[in-house]
Amino acid sequence: MSPSFDHIIVGAGTAGCTLAEQLTRDADVSVLLIEAGGRDNYHWIHIPVGYLYCIGNPRTDWRYRTREEPGLNGRSLLYPRGRVMGGCSSINGMIAMRGQREDYAHWAEVTGDASWNWDSVLPLFKRAEDYHGGADEWHGTGGPWRVERQRLRWEILDAFRDAAVQTGLPRNDDFNRGDNFGVGYFEVNQKNGWRWNAVKATRAMFARRNLTVWTGATVQRLTFEGLRCTGVAVRRGGGGECEVVIARREVLLAAGAINSPVLLERSGIGQRERIEALRVPLVKELRGVGENLQDHLQLRMIFKVSATRTPNTLASSWLGKMKIGMEYALRRSGPMSMAPSQLGAFARSDTGQWRANVEYHVQPLSLDKFGEPLHSFDAFTASVCNLRPASRGSVHAQSADAQAPPVIAPNYLSTADDRRVAADSLRLTRRIVAAPALANYSPVEWLPGAALVSDEELARAAGDIGTTIFHPVGTCRMGRGDDELAVVDAALRVRGIDGLRVVDASVMPTITSGNTNMPTVMIAQKAGDMIRAARLAPG
């Protein structure tokens, strides 16, 4: 007889762990949480700078790649996705960011459901927090997700902040009040200098008898009786036959913006022609599955500096490395406590923007790409991304085999508007760097190069230096019933299918104006509330 549970959650990342914690609070509800990766017992997961050793590592990362992107001048990008308990929260940048008020107003508009607007979701954000500054109008305490200030300061970052103020940005010590405009240090999901991932945030649930966790288990497909999802076919331990597991109430996909749509396609839900090409039975045609992919493309400008020291040269000797290690060992501070980006800024790329439309991630170091050594010269990196790109991409299954990687086509810089914002953003960065506050450090543009000045040159340069900032969303987007490209409704139920919801960043109709981990937490908390309310409803 097949094992059965009330709910089966596919994916133990940010959304999956948050959702499992919500559902298992009711002792009479049984939950199976399935994760393709292993336990989060790799030490580099928990040391903040360890993202350098987790991204691209098969122990923690699916190691996907994009197609060769025309907008990136033919380049293919590494596309990290967490493959471990905690999912992307175990390898991400740890930045605690909600987005802007208007992001959620748009979600409410396109779904026809006012419960997705800012005023309605703010209590969920507050409920999720254990905020270092205490509870107030904007923040909560006692929640599962610890939010702290970073345990470091760098002279060059303070100078960039002051230069941004001189260029017209206000100082902003809290990016989570619905209007991000300004410059300040990011707050992070850390506790006492350690990464705070989804496993730590939900650790109380692992002692509950109504939760079962399977790691090293890959869901090959969903199972159906007619138009009802009845469970999953899962392969455990990397081989052998698939085992069918029954969901008495619902299957909840929390596999993320890449793997959730691909699993739907492998199971017969998606565009008819794609399902037929996979040679699996068509269960339900939903043309929006895998479409609407959005991501933040960061343009990494690098500036050499003098008269200051950065991690580039600090870490270039064994003595410097020892000092860095000792500082972290003794005080949990310094470079090893660093999130990938420390200083943030939200700005308008041109005077025609009525709200912040670009975000900066500024780092007191430079390197060619993640996993590569730091440069031998002192430098800082000012990465800038278009918060609301017009370009739309896709992700689709290339095979019915769960081991086959998906086809990821972000379609970066495919619109004239995105190319214009890219060029304007590079010019804005140059204006900030030219401000008096940075003059003592004699910044010299190393990448992409000061000789590039025209719109065409800068747009091409954006294609050369642009890379993902790891925020894919939107591939199973929610929408109204008359929206033929909506995959789920406002309650995150897959359209036309009973017993199946998607609960992760793929349901976002449009990308949030900032980093996406905390919005994913909010989505999962809201889903948990909706699922519980449906279970307890009369009849």
Active site residues: 471
Classified as helix, coil or strand, 426 is helix
> Which residues fall within 8 angstroms of residue 474, CB to CB, at 6 or more apart?
257, 292, 293, 294, 392, 505, 506, 508, 509, 510, 511
Asked if 42 contacts 58 with a C-beta cutoff of 8 angstroms, the reply is no
Asked if 35 contacts 16 with a C-beta cutoff of 8 angstroms, the reply is yes
Asked if 33 contacts 276 with a C-beta cutoff of 8 angstroms, the reply is no
Classified as helix, coil or strand, 234 is strand
Quote the tokens at residue 357: 């439309």
Beta strand 228-236 pairing with 466-468: unpaired
| CA atoms 465, 83, 17, 201: torsion sign | negative
Instruction: Quote the CA–CA distance of 234 and 10 in Å, as a whole number.
Output: 10
Instruction: Quote the CA–CA distance of 410 and 321 in Å, as a whole number.
Output: 38
Instruction: Quote the CA–CA distance of 176 and 141 in Å, as a whole number.
Output: 15
Kindly calculate the radius of gyration of the chain based on its CA atoms and give it in whole angstroms: 23
Cis peptide before 448 (omega within 30 of 0): yes
